[in-house]
Amino acid sequence: MQAHELEKQGHDRLIAHSDSTRTPHEDHEAILCLSAEKTQKKTRERRRESRFRIGGFAGMAEVSMCSSSERAELSPEEERVLVRDIAIAAEANSKEGDTFYLITQRWWQYWIDYVNQDQSTNINDGSSLSDHCDSGGSSGLYRPASIDNSDLIDDAKSEDPNMGIEIHDTLLEGRDFVLLPQEVWNQLYSWYGGGPTLPRKVISSGLSQTELAVEVYPLRLQLLVMPKGDNATIRISKKETVGELHQRACEIFDLNLEQVRVWDYYGHQKHALMSDMDKTLDDANIQMDQDILVEVLNDVNGCFSASKGASRNCGSELSQNHNLATTGRELDNTYVSVGVTTRGASCGLTGLLNLGNTCFMNSAIQCLVHTPEFARYFRGDYHREINWHNPLGMAGDLALAFGELLRKLWAPGRTPVAPRPFKAKLARFAAQFSGYNQHDSQELLAFLLDGLHEDLNRVKHKPYLKSRDADGRPDEEVADEYWANHTARNDSIIVDVCQGQYKSTLVCPVCHKVSVTFDPFMYLSLPLQSTTMRSMTVTVFTCDGTALPTVTTVTVPKQGRFRDLIQAVSSSCSLKQNEELKIAEIRNHLLQRLIEDPLTSLSSIKDDDRLAAYKIPKSVKSSKLLQLIHRCQEKETSNTQAASHWKPYGTPLLSSIPLDGETTRSEVQKIVQKMLSPLLKVECLGDTDFSQPSNSDEASDQSHDISPDEASTKFKSDSIRDISGSKMETCSGLPLQMVDENNACIDLSVEEEKAITLSKSSKFIVVYFDWSEKLLGMFDMNYLENLPEVFRYGPVMKKARNEPLSLYTCLESFLREEPLVPDDMWNCPQCKEQRQASKKLDLWRLPNVLVIHLKRFSYSRSMKHKIETFVNFPVHDFDLTNYVASKNNSQRQLYELYALTNHYGSMGSGHYTAHIKLLDENRWYNFDDSHISPINEEEVKSAAAYVLFYRRVKTNDANGNGAVRGRSYQ
């Protein structure tokens, strides 16, 4: 899984000096060396070489700009040289407070090609601008148009006057934009104009605060006013002071400074009163997208209004359940009593300092540290189990670093610990966790457990073992064999505590070969329901004239097969015993394909496809499908004459036509008349005067006043005969054309009793219906014109409150049989072919500590998405007895929650915390980096829950029935 978010510290882009090659990072960071001696030396070298680097400039000295009159005299080569000289002159004076400008990568690259078009080669490697200027480009390029940064702008968010111009949250330097120093931007802007202008400030950053960074994404804060309930969103640099934040709040809400005080209200909990006006927001640990509480003095009694126990969700509404009016002195005393750190003699309440976007690591570490089995193990003599020579491990370094950190966190005292040594060891073992980017806490957790296992593996020399196929042997025997083979190679405290086993069954869809394996697992990644199921919209047509077309939306497994869709639609449209369903993909008003193979993967049907389902009688005798294709006239006007031709229109219809005996043209007419009968407008049922067609919209509204069955009943045979008479296009029948076996069209509106020859080789009998304007006025064609897409994306509609998604439901989705994805085909040993087999998982052996990962983050090439669904997970009595396939153990499989990580915010920015239960105290605490505070058990459940940690409960109920008579932790 990729790192999926940028966190709270401003999402800075660090400036890289031009003596190193810059590579774009997801959070726009690159290290800047600040040595003045190196800066001057490199500047002198670049002056000699006439080279410089774009995208990584330090501060720039002032240089004069060309006027617009001078611009007309400059060639591309002169532009290139002038911009190069500006950058060289300015580069040596980098300092905090300089301004950089974002410019769209698309425009910038075109300008680079334009000024290099006379060169011999073209290089675009993100190196220096002089490299670009001295390299070749395409010849014959036109001068660039004005600068257009519109593709960087988030128009929806830019409508907020307090936010200014907002850019998209997911922009990447080098891919979407380039950062230009002010002098370079000014020069380009004087030549080309355009915009909008997107300035960003250079700030000091890093642990030592000696690195320079361009703050591409300043802090976005939600200001919440109490007791008024007003709210506003602002952008402010993390280097601004608390005093400036006070000033901004007062300006927005029209308040006096003496009237307000401001609180760090992260997670809707008061963490600190922000009263030090000279302190920066960075030093105050204010994070991206967090809440700031603005308390207003009560005019009546001169007191501040406090909000105690406010809602923890991320909305802008504050809970009013416990609003208190207290004096400032009383409120301050209350805050002191529940301060940042907790009191008492209990150990294990030490926080971890945030080193910069390391909340993902802190939350996972705290959950592992507070796992009792690990706490006992690493506080004991674990050194004797370190595998110093395991090539898959880290020579014990990771285990030693984790053990040392665990001991510090369990030591007496409340001083937060900086996990720098551990992070350094982790980065050596996994380079992706180096630096200070935000990452996925579950990804870190999985990697850490695996790394600790390899460092602590008791097996020094792994034997080579090959598991045999089941070959009909009892599952218990095969499972024990697989587990014995696994533990012969893997034996550590991690295996003892966290690893379980599941049964995996694969079935070939062709030869039905069954393959059973028993594999170990470290954690369960449970998909949320919306990630395993898919909504599909299908329009259902009847061929017997008994009902109007209906649109139905069904829910099917996302990785399901066509048979799942058939079953769902059949149930939705109340398919009768003597009917069958034909589903077709419609494209360009034609039947693209008839989906008949029940094993066809539903992934082959895209969201923007259009599906039609046809209810037709089950064929007892030999029959064929009649496909009715609608056509209308399209007029074309050329310079010399006007012409018209027939083009496909609407949605084709299907019906069955028997092959026994002779088939006459009139019989085809009757089949088509019956198919179209529900669409005839009510006022046209007995009216044969087609000279004044009714208004289509009015007729459509009137036709809805009666039921489809009534409309069909009113469409009597005499009315059909009247429609088929001479008054309709002077023909004796409907204007139908049938395609014969020679691909010629036969007019079915004449010689009705004449027999026709049906092709025996073709699956379909194709008939065209040529619609005149008069006929279009008689029928409600909306049902044929507007075929909906399988799934249409749009604004998320507010749904009625349903029962919350249960953790048991997520587990059942994980264990449900489903086909493998097309990219993960199975090589069937019997077919000797790659097959999209069906896969079924069953829990077989459960660990003492069960880690459950809720898959809230999904990725695709064009979209990243977080699922905010609330999952109702049990805190006590998580009963997995009925989900374990092995029946050897008669005891109930009960678990209790003792820890979990939470993720607040969106994919673009967010924050991790942990809820942990100290078992000795039987009390829950919130671990938010260095902040630790007690919480009620009711607060543990939220939509932010991400990774759950359960411990097995040992019960005295040997039968697995009835209430638990006694329990203890194993």
Q: Which residues are catalytic?
A: 359, 911
Give the DSSP letter string of 769-806: EEE-HHHHHHB-THHHH-PPPSS---SPPPPPP-PPEE
* Both tokens assigned to 662: 């002779």
> Helix count (H) and strand count (E) of the chain?
24, 45
CA 361 to the chain's CA centroid = 22
Look-up of token digits 């309930």:
229
CA neighbours closer than 13 Å in the CB half-sphere of residue 528: 21
Place of tokens 């009666």: 706
Closest to 952 in 3D by CA, of 549, 496, 592:
496
Q: What burial class does residue 666 get, using C-beta atoms within 10 Å of its C-beta: 0-12 exposed, 13-18 middle, 19+ buried? A: middle
Give the tokens for residue 40.
């001057």
End-to-end C-alpha distance for the chain, whole angstroms: 33
Residue type, 348: G
Give the residue from 534, 569, 578, 526 showing the smallest Cα distance to 555: 534
- Residues 537 and 553 sit within 8 Å (Cβ to Cβ): yes
240 token code pair: 């601004």
| C-alpha separations of 40 from 87, 91, 204, 463, 848 in Å | 14, 9, 20, 60, 61
Q: Which of 25, 14, 18 is nearest to 132 (CA)?
A: 18
Report how far Cα 872 is from the mean position of its chain's Cα atoms.
21
How is residue 672 written in tokens? 């088509």
Taken in order 776, 782, 783, 784, is the CA torsion positive or negative? positive
Give the containing element (helix H, strand E) for 109. Answer: helix 105-115
Question: How large is the greatest C-alpha to C-alpha distance in the chain, in angstroms?
Answer: 102
From residue 116, alpha-carbon distances to 82, 125, 141, 245, 608 in Å are 13, 14, 10, 46, 43
Instruction: Report the distance separating Cα 230 and Cα 252, nearest Å.
Output: 10
- Residue keyed to tokens 């882009």: 13
CA 888 – CA 873 distance, rounded (Å): 27
